[in-house]
Amino acid sequence: MKVAYLGPKGTFSEEAALRFFPPNGTELVMYDGIVDVLEAVAEREVNKGIVPIENAIEGTITMTTDGLINYDVWIEGEAILPIALHLLTVEGADVDDIREIWSIGPALAQCRDFTRKLQAKTKHFSSTANAAESLVKANHKNAGAIASELAAKTFGLEMAKRNIQDFEGNSTRFLIVTNEKPEIPEASKSMLLITPGEDRPGLLAIILNVFSSLDINLSWIESRPTKKKLGTYRFFIEAQTGVQEVNMQKAITILRTYGHDVRVLGSFDTKKL
The pLDDT of residue 238 is: 97
Mean pLDDT of the chain: 92
Strands (E), the chain: 2-6, 27-31, 48-55, 59-60, 74-82, 86-89, 100-103, 121-124, 143-147, 158-161, 171-178, 189-195, 218-225, 233-239, 261-268, 270-272
pLDDT band per the 50, 70, 90 thresholds, residue 260: very high
The pLDDT of residue 268 is: 94
pLDDT digits (tens, 9 = 90+) for 52-102: 999 888 889 999 999 999 999 999 999 999 989 999 999 989 998 999 999
Listed range (12-21, 46-55, 229-238) with the worst mean pLDDT: 229-238
Q: Can you tell me whether residue 35 is helix, strand or coil?
A: helix
Note whether 29 and 54 are within 8 A (CB).
no
Note whether 244 and 184 are within 8 A (CB).
yes
The pTM for the full model equals 0.86
Domains of the chain listed by start with CATH number = 2-83+170-178 (3.40.190.10), 86-161 (3.40.190.10), 189-272 (3.30.70.260)
pLDDT digits (tens, 9 = 90+) for 142-154: 999 999 999 999 9
